[in-house]
Structure 1
Amino acid sequence: MMRLLSLVLPVVLMVLGFPPFIQAEEKPVSIFDQRIGGHIHPSICRASDGTLIVVFKGENVLLCSRSVDQGANWSEPRPIPTSAKRPDVIREVRKYEVYPGTVDALPDGRILVTWNYIADDKALDGYYERALLYSLSEDQGRSWSEQHLIGPVDGKHLGAVRHNVLPWSKGRWLLPLRVGVPRLFDPETGVLERYPLVGPDGKQHEFQQIVRTANGSLLSMGPVLLHSVDNGAHWKIVKNFPAVPDKRDNAEGRYLTTLADGRVLVTWGRGQKNMGLSYNLSDDDGVTWDAQRTKVLLPKTAVTARYYSARTVQIDQQHVGTVFMNRQGVHFLKVPVSRLSQSQVTEE
């Protein structure tokens, strides 16, 4: 009887004019199932062989967990040993912090992880040292190279990279820095170049997520969403973008995901008291958006979305997967793209 009701009820609701109520394909899977706090900041990427890799902060070390079955099961989080090592350029202090950056899949198949090693000893000379470091994996996150330093510039460390590194031409990486102009980095030579990113308002914004769509365009998400069709030479403001900051929240939990078919997905939430994950899908390279298409999944689930926890990656042609955190741990949700493209759908 219950099975029959579950099949008939959606049809009855649609006939009566109510939006269909659809169950999510999968419930969240816990990657790290224990109470957490602080700068956990989970990040996710998909390796060339389909392995999903999540990196987040543990006890002053980065932890890495892997899934080879599209997020159904995850390995026990293991430390990335090089992330806990104090680099020679950072003085030895009583208090230090490993601050997570992001994990990214490079075009050559390697996995890149970035982080900061922070010497928290301002009392000595007022300088909060925050070295920007990275390690590489050639085996889908099983093992990692020795750490490498990016910068400093003019005697100052570059600080945090909290949005994903974007692979660029000639083997370079575009670093969307938390403070200052984005910079192009050549890992072979160590050379850093400024990458001015000025919108139509003439302002050089900091702290932007910069992505390249399947169609070759660039999107830059900061205080406004910018779109470029000429590799960043010129930018236009995208109107009616649904995931905008307001006076009560800086919307740092927003995340752009470019899909293989040219569409663009944004995942976001507001504030530590946010309940659920918000999604909206653009069908035309991120140029136009419809706020009415916003879907809220897991509306009864707490999500610490303000601080970068809701990050989404495409798993295959039919699915995306989102890593998020709350005070109970780090979790993963697999979502059919078709659900996000439907109109007026609320997930549970």
Structure 2
Amino acid sequence: MLARSAVCLLMTTLVLGTLSAAEPVLVKIGSPIGGHIHPAICRTKKGTLIVTFGQVNHRDLRISRSTDAGKTWSEPAAFAHTVKKSYYPGSLTTLADGRIVHCWNRWSTDTNEQEPRSVLYSVSSDDGLTWAEPQALPRDEKLRSVIRHPLVELSADSWLFSLDDRTLVFHPSTSTDESFGDGRVHGLTPIVRTPQGTFISGAGLRSTDKGKTWSKIEKFPDLKTQGWRHELVCLSNGWLLASEILGPGFGGERIRYVISTNDGLTWDQTYEYYNPGRAIGGRACPRTVELNDETIGVVFYDVDAKEKEGRGLFFLTIPLAKLASN
């Protein structure tokens, strides 16, 4: 049984940063003002960590990089393609060839905050230092289309996107798309593929035939109600981690993983990694990345107005042994 004991982070002093490598280590990335902070994260083939987040609600999208596994971070800088433009945060994905895909959401024009939103993406070939001109995903101009989760690279020219209005396979070479599997819409929830080729949907569904048929997962955490907020990731060892935020109020009080170690069949193991001993300020929107076969890291925010040093965007490094220990 995986551990359920909380790592109580003393946010006001960030003392976890002084602990040994065997313990979770907390690092502050930035101090976003508020609103839809909603971070995204990826790890490049070279080991660079890239994080994007909202500094000012819908008006200032920032990007930060770490080249030492999250110990230190570059000063968050404006993302070039959203300067003087409105946006809604999206996702980051590392492709098999080493390129990075950053997706974000454009409002009905470049400067307003009105629906319908649509998805833009830009590709970086130099570890997130520069980004190609944005391209648009196919859309129905009358419908809102929003992204919040990483794409699944089915092949070099087939990217699986789970958007709130469509679940589609996009072909970047031709800018064309097609439906995925049985054509159902999974909504604004994550979809991941396991090392065994199984697809797990944040809607609480599991497919072993490339999405042609789906079975309901029993006792699966509720990712769908607030799909933009929650996450689902698959590690290289096959473990599946789904986020769960517990407690009353706007932001809850504790964050934990609900874990499957058998290809998504059962989800009865948990690990709580954040418990500040008070209400969390904001939705947290955790996003996890695998650092190596022994360590993961998760980016999230807590902007409690009563805190000073303890408010901000944080990166927590967690040894996988912690998830497996009693």
Matched, 1:275 2:247: no
Equivalent position amino acid for 2:53 in 1: F
Do the aligned partners of 2:162 and 2:186 also contact (CA within 8 Å) in 1? Answer: no
Post-superposition shift, 1:157? 5.9
2:44 equivalent among 40, 44, 47: 47
CA–CA separation in structure 1 for the residues paired with 2:148 and 2:264: 21
What is the aligned partner in structure 2 of residue 333 from structure 1?
A: 316
* Aligned pairs for 1:267-346 within 5 A: 267-270=243-246, 272-290=250-268, 293-300=269-276, 303=280, 306=283, 309-327=285-303, 328-343=311-326
Do the aligned partners of 2:52 and 2:62 also contact (CA within 8 Å) in 1? Answer: yes
What is the aligned partner in structure 1 of residue 159 from structure 2?
A: 173
1:257 equivalent among 229, 233, 236: 233
Post-superposition shift, 1:206? 1.8
CA–CA separation in structure 1 for the residues paired with 2:55 and 2:288: 21
Do the aligned partners of 2:145 and 2:166 also contact (CA within 8 Å) in 1? Answer: no
Equivalent position amino acid for 1:221 in 2: G
Do the aligned partners of 2:5 and 2:272 also contact (CA within 8 Å) in 1? Answer: no
Equivalent position amino acid for 1:63 in 2: R
Post-superposition shift, 1:116? 1.5
1:195 equivalent among 168, 180, 192: 180
CA pair 186-61 structure 1, distance change in 2 beyond 3 A: farther
Structure 1 residue runs of 5 or longer lacking an equivalent are: 1-18, 87-96, 344-348
What is the aligned partner in structure 2 of residue 98 from structure 1?
A: 87
Number of residue-to-residue matches in the alignment:
296
Equivalent position amino acid for 1:218 in 2: F
What is the aligned partner in structure 1 of residue 62 from structure 2?
A: 63
SS at match of 1:340: helix
What is the aligned partner in structure 2 of residue 10 from structure 1?
A: none
Post-superposition shift, 1:195? 2.4
Do the aligned partners of 2:188 and 2:228 also contact (CA within 8 Å) in 1? Answer: no
What is the aligned partner in structure 2 of residue 219 from structure 1?
A: 200
What is the aligned partner in structure 2 of residue 116 from structure 1?
A: 105
CA–CA separation in structure 2 for the residues paired with 1:174 and 1:137: 19
Post-superposition shift, 1:109? 0.6
What is the aligned partner in structure 1 of residue 142 from structure 2?
A: 156
Post-superposition shift, 1:331? 0.6
Q: Deviations over 1:178-217 (max 9, x none)?
A: 1x2301111111112222557xxxx744222110112211
TM-score where L is the length of structure 2: 0.82
CA pair 22-174 structure 1, distance change in 2 beyond 3 A: closer
Do the aligned partners of 1:174 and 1:184 also contact (CA within 8 Å) in 2? Answer: yes
**Percent identity between the aligned chains?**
34
Equivalent position amino acid for 2:254 in 1: G
Q: Deviations over 1:255-290 (max 9, x none)?
A: 112111112122231553322320232111111121
CA pair 303-102 structure 1, distance change in 2 beyond 3 A: farther
Greater relative contact order, per chain length (Cα 8 Å cut-off, separation 6+)? 2
Post-superposition shift, 1:304? 5.2
Post-superposition shift, 1:147? 1.2
Post-superposition shift, 1:21? 8.2
Matched, 1:28 2:51: no
SS at match of 1:269: strand
Post-superposition shift, 1:61? 3.7
What is the aligned partner in structure 2 of residue 206 from structure 1?
A: 187
Structure with greater Cα Rg = 1
What is the aligned partner in structure 1 of residue 222 from structure 2?
A: 244
Structure 2 residue runs of 5 or longer lacking an equivalent are: 9-15, 17-22, 304-310
CA–CA separation in structure 2 for the residues paired with 1:150 and 1:252: 18
Q: Deviations over 1:162-187 (max 9, x none)?
A: 12211123512111111x23011111
CA pair 105-144 structure 1, distance change in 2 beyond 3 A: same
CA pair 43-331 structure 1, distance change in 2 beyond 3 A: same
CA pair 306-287 structure 1, distance change in 2 beyond 3 A: farther
Do the aligned partners of 1:251 and 1:306 also contact (CA within 8 Å) in 2? Answer: no
Post-superposition shift, 1:299? 1.3
CA pair 64-256 structure 1, distance change in 2 beyond 3 A: same
Do the aligned partners of 1:277 and 1:303 also contact (CA within 8 Å) in 2? Answer: no
TM-score where L is the length of structure 1: 0.77
**Pairwise CA RMSD of aligned residues?**
2.8
CA pair 303-315 structure 1, distance change in 2 beyond 3 A: farther
Matched, 1:146 2:130: no
Do the aligned partners of 1:253 and 1:268 also contact (CA within 8 Å) in 2? Answer: no
Do the aligned partners of 1:48 and 1:109 also contact (CA within 8 Å) in 2? Answer: yes
Equivalent position amino acid for 1:281 in 2: I
Bigger shift: residues 334-343 or 23-32: 23-32
SS at match of 2:82: helix
